[in-house]
Each structure stands twice: as structure tokens, then as C-alpha cells.
Amino acid sequence: MIEAVGLTKRYGAKTAVYDLSFQVRPGAVTGFLGPNGAGKSTTMRMILGLDQPTSGHVTVCGSPYRQLPNAPRQVGALLDAKAVHGGRSARNHLLSLAQLSGIPARRVDEVLGVVGLQEVAKRRSGGFSLGMGQRLGIAAALLGDPQVLLFDEPVNGLDPEGILWVRNLMKQLAAEGRTVFVSSHLMSEMALTADHLIVIGRGQLMADMSVRDFIAHNSAGFARVRTPQGDPGQREKLSAALTGAGGQVLPEQDGALRVTGLALPRISDLAHEADVRLWELSPHQASLEEAYMRMTQGAVDYRSTDDQKEGLQPDQQPGGPAPLPHVPEVPQQGWYAPPPPATSPPGQPASAVTAPEAPADAAASRPPAATDPTQSEDPR
């Protein structure tokens, strides 16, 4: 059981973690999610007493980590796969940790076998790959057979076999009644491993709920509707009807419509009334990845932008034609181009469905210079 109450950590002016309160319960794998720089590792270090919280406190099994009697027998942690003296062999590294808490040397060989490193036990750990380093770190965490386990990004650098192994290991440890706290930025991995999720963004708690609740709370389900192909008139007619009934309609790449805000039977009725045949009407649930992206959209610290390659492009010929002011490409088929203002009476349904926000959004999110007509744009 790990309990954090009002945990706050500041580094100078930067607040890494702010007023974080949560509980990690035994018998379940608790995923700890957040974008890079959200404060996951800082929180883990505070749990282990490595960093002193600016305010608030965190306890493990009821007492602060630094006051735990024989901490290595109660808490095992993988913080950083490379946190090993490169000149020391894997076995000696584990042996030095084992001796701290009176763990016999044969337990060292045992955990080396568990993580599959017995072949390289005598080799200097400096030559290990990242995946081998992770295995060594996991071995160190398992050494004292602890009731509480913390893993910071355990699957980084592991091969598919290793990822599967870690996933099963976590589940098994939780099934034995242990407290398992795993941080990751891989939502898809957590969807398969975790029972419970704690999501933070910019150091603040964003969600603390079971995986199922998380999806239900954070993603609206939608219906995919497909009208007969090669008949855009039908599709426009249907989307007008659906919009008129209060649904939101989003055209998809392949010509299908994504409908939210209307129940499936209602969509079917509306199609029937509008005299439109349907080829597909299917319910969809957004994935954990989508729910996560939606939730942390505003909390991403490091966001990638388009590479403008300024100065790398060949210069324009002097005296050549001036570059035309760029009109943002409508990025995908299915988006309706906004109609010229003069010819379009306001509130005209077909174009009003999607036009007002989508192209404007596409234009705003891209600097004009970066717009490359040939690039394919991910619909979002």
C-alpha cells in the first residue's frame, strides 16, 4: 500500500509535482501514466525517499520510506536501468544489494535465473544492452521478495518476448497480493497490464480510476455509418438529417461517417425516414490510447512540431516569380471546402456540418511555410 497526500515538489521556480494525492492498493497492477516530464519519476523518487517533497508526504506500508525497517525486504524498485556501476558484474551488483538486508547469496542466483541473465551473470554490466539492464533492474527489485514493487518504465528497450514476460510478471505479482506500481507513457501497454490507472499531467492528478472507468469517462463512443458507395448525394442527405436531429457528424477518410450524440436505433430510424440505405451501422468504443490523448492534450510539455527545414531549402531565384501566398490544403477527402461567403446563405446544412471548424483548424495548427501539398495528413 502506497499513500501520497498533497505531494508537492518544486525545483526552484518549476513545479514538478503539485498537490498529488493517491493510493496504490495491494492485489492490483496500478499504472502510472503521464506524458514525458509529467512528474512520474519525481513522484517515484519521492516514494523511495530519494527526493524530499517540498510539501505533503508519502508513506509505504504506513510509514515514510526512510523509516521503514529493512526497506529492501519490503519495497523493491526499478528506477533506472543504467543505475549500475558498469565495471561490476551483474552478480556482484546483486550480491552487494543482497548483503544489505541479509539476503543469502543463493537468492541472487535465483533471481538471475528468473530474469534470464544467468548466462551473463559474471560479465561487466557496462556492456549490457538496455534490455539486459532492465532485466538486471527487475532482478534487483525482486531480490528481497518485497510486498511493494515500483517499476519506472520497465518495458523500455525490451524485445517483444521481454515485454510479454514483464506483463505477465506484473500480473502474477499482483495476483500474489502484492502492490505493483508501474509507470509508463505507453498507454497501449498499460491497457494490457494495469487494472487501475493513475494519470498525471504537468504534475497534477488527472485521473485515478479503474481502466474500464477510465475509458468510459474519457472517451465518447461513436457510431460508424456507411451509405452506399458512389452516391454522395445519399451521404449528404443522411448527414443533414443526422445533424438536424442533434448529432455530430464527422466524415472519415474512406467515406464513412462518424456519428456521436445519437443512439444507434435513432440513427437507423433517421436513415429510414430520410430514405437512405445503410451499408454499415456499427458501435465503436474509443481505445485507451485515444482516451489518454484526449485527457493529456493540454498537459503535454514537449510537443513536436513540423520541421520547417529553414535555410536548408534551395534559395528562390532572384527575379523569379514570387512565392504565392499559400492556401492551406484541405487535408483529406471528405472535408468540405468552405463555400465562398457570397454564394452561401448562412446555415446551409451540407457545408455547415463540418466546414466551419475543420479547415480553419487545419490552417491554424500548421505554419503556412511548412505546408507541403504532397504530405499526407493524419486526420484528427
Partner 1 sequence: MASVPAVLQSEWTKIRTVSSTIWTLISAFAVTLAMSAALSALMNATFDDLSEAERLTFDPTFVSFSGLILGQLAMVVFGVLVVGTEYSSGMIRTSLAAVPQRATFLFSKITVAGALALLVGMVTSFLTFFVSQALLGEHRTTLGEENVLRAVFGGGLYMGLIALFSMGVAAMLRSSMLSLGILMPFFFLVSQILSAVPGAKEVARYFPDQAGAKIMQVVPNALDSDEAPYGPWGGLGIMVLWVAASLIGGYLVLKKRDA
In the complex, the residues that contact partner 1 under the rule CB under 8 A are 45, 48-52, 65-72, 75, 77, 79-80, 82-89, 92, 95-97, 99-102, 140
Residues forming a β-bridge with 224? 258, 282
Q: Which residue has the cell 504534475?
A: 203
Can you say whether the dihedral through the CA atoms of 321, 326, 331, 337 is positive or negative? negative
Instruction: Name the minimum Å distance from CB 108 to partner 1.
Output: 11
Q: Which is nearer to partner 1, 73 or 226 (CB)?
A: 73
Q: Which is nearer to partner 1, 38 or 241 (CB)?
A: 38
Radius of gyration of the chain measured on its C-alpha atoms: 27
87 vs 321 by CB, closer to partner 1 = 87
Q: Whole-number minimum distance, CB 11 to partner 1, in Å?
A: 9
Count of beta carbons in the 10 Å neighbourhood of residue 233: 9
Judged by CB, which is closer to partner 1: 101, or 248?
101
Distance CA 170, CA 178 (A): 10
Distance CA 40, CA 190 (A): 15
Exposed e or buried b for every residue in 157-195, given b needs 16+ CB within 10 A? bbeeebbebbbebbbebbeeebbbbbbbbbbebbbebbb
The residue assigned the cell 532492465 is 134
Nearer to partner 1, 75 or 117 (CB): 75
Nearer to partner 1 by Cβ, of 46 and 158: the residue is 46
Least distance (Å) between residue 140 CB and partner 1? 7
Shortest gap between Cβ of 46 and partner 1 (angstroms)?
9
Least Cβ distance, residue 62 to partner 1 (angstroms): 15
Closer to partner 1 at the Cβ: 75 or 271? 75
C-alpha span between 52 and 42 (Å, rounded): 10
Task: Using alpha carbons only, give the angle 87, 89, 95 rounded to the nearest 5 degrees.
Answer: 120
Give the shortest CB-18-to-partner 1 separation in angstroms: 17
| Closest separation in Å from C-beta 44 to partner 1 | 10
Rounded Cα distance between 138 and 194, Å, is 18
